[in-house]
Every structure is written in structure tokens, then in C-alpha cells.
Amino acid sequence: MVSRFIEDWESNPRCFPLGNLDGASMTMGSSPRFPMYDNDFGWGRPLAVRSGKANKFDGKISAFPGREGNGTVDLEVVLAPEAMAAIESDHEFMQFVSL
């Protein structure tokens, strides 16, 4: 399926539409190979990395190599306030993502 998608895209390239048009989509972006925390502008290693305010929409997730290294991953998740409220009130979900 992936090979067919790539062949189709190569013959008919198009831009990925930004946004969550149907309200049920999720978009994953970035690359775990980009050394975000290796940038030091004289103040030491960054404490956190964020992608900025551009291209933010409900359901977008960006992945960066984790600050701790050793295969860790930091996720930046963008959710509409209603979606975030629903997740925060989901006790089963919260037990796995909370200390």
C-alpha cells in the first residue's frame, strides 16, 4: 500500500493540505533524526523544543528526539480545547501518561 502511494505521488505530486478538515484526522510530522537538542547558542542545551506557532491545528503531532537521548522521543501534541478536556477527563488514559 505504501509503495502504491509513493508511486502515485511521484506521478501526481500534490501538497498535503494542512488542517484537520474532518475533525477525526491526526497528522504526524518531524523526524526523530534531526538533532534538535544539539543546538547551543551559548546558553547551554535547550530545556525544551517546540515547533513555533505556524501550522498548528487540531490533531497535529510533531516528534523530536528526546532531550535525554538513548532513543527517547519528545512529542508536541496540538489539540482543540474540547479534545484536550475530553482526554484530561479520561481516567484510563491519564493513568498511563501521568506520574
Confidence bin at 21 (pLDDT 50/70/90): low
Confidence bin at 94 (pLDDT 50/70/90): very high
Give CA–CA dist 75/64, Å, rounded. 6
Hey, what domains does the chain have and what are their CATH numbers? 18-97 (3.30.559.10)
Task: Decide: pTM greater than 0.85.
Answer: no
The pLDDT, as a whole number, for residue 88 is 93
**Between residues 92 and 23, which one has the greater pLDDT?**
92
Mean pLDDT over each residue of the chain, to the nearest integer: 80
% of the chain beyond a pLDDT of 70: 81
